[in-house]
Homo-oligomer: A and B are copies of this chain.
Amino acid sequence: MAKRESQAPGDSTEQKIFDAAHEVFTQKGMDGATMQEIADHAGINKALLHYYYRTKEKLYESVARAIIGRAIPAIRQIIESELPLEEKIRRFIDAYIGIISRNPFIPLFIISEVNKHPERFINSILPSDLPKPQFFFNQVEAEIAAGRIRPVRPQHLIVNVISMCVFPFVGKPMMRMLLGMSSGEMRVFLEERKEEVTQFVMAALRP
């Protein structure tokens, strides 16, 4: 967007609207959010939302695209890197949990979006260059063949790792109830998981 570079970043009206929409949409979803609420959050008038983004749908897509566009490269970069397997998994877990800690509403936002409107997601939000896990798969197979790790199906391995990183955030309130934790205890617990999940995966991969 060349448009945005021509003015002070972060406080243009368009940017204020975008930021407000980002916050409201991620917390309430497309259906739960209203244009009025977004306008209030941005401290401006409702009509201005339409002036800049025409429709609620377009504003939503703009936010969704930005979120996905930020989330995917981070994963991509690690998965497709040339690091040795163990180091790669270590960094992947650390980065993944770190990112989600700083943006706790994003995973559920993405999941809900994809589940409710798969076509819209694929056609107008998802970027074309998805992470290609093939290199990672080959790497796992090679380590297995060399006897350096226990035989696992690489697809399941990657799903296991992602699940253990993401789900505790998505299901945080439920986890809190199950474990009887306060909000503060839960924050500590989630931070601990960087180390705990890494050790768990490494232990599972021992030959």
Contact = CB atoms under 8 A, between A and B. Distances in A.
Copies per complex? 2
Contacts of A197: 156, 160
A66 interface: no
Interface stretch (A6-14, A94-102, A162-170): A162-170
Q: Is the contact region of chain A dominated by helix, strand, or loop, or is it mixed?
A: helix
Interface in A115-167: 115-116, 118, 121-122, 126, 130-131, 133, 150, 152-153, 155-160, 162-164, 166-167
A118 B173 contact: yes
Given A111-B108, A153-B196, A159 B163 contact: no
Chain A interface residue bracket vs B: 35 or more
A14 to B, nearest CB: 27
A178 B115 contact: no
Contacts of A162: 167, 171, 175
Please name the 4 residue pairs, one residue from A and one from B, whose CB atoms are nearest each other, closest first.
A163-B167, A204-B204, A31-B31, A167-B167
A2 interface: no
Contacts of A118: 173
A121 B131 CA distance: 37
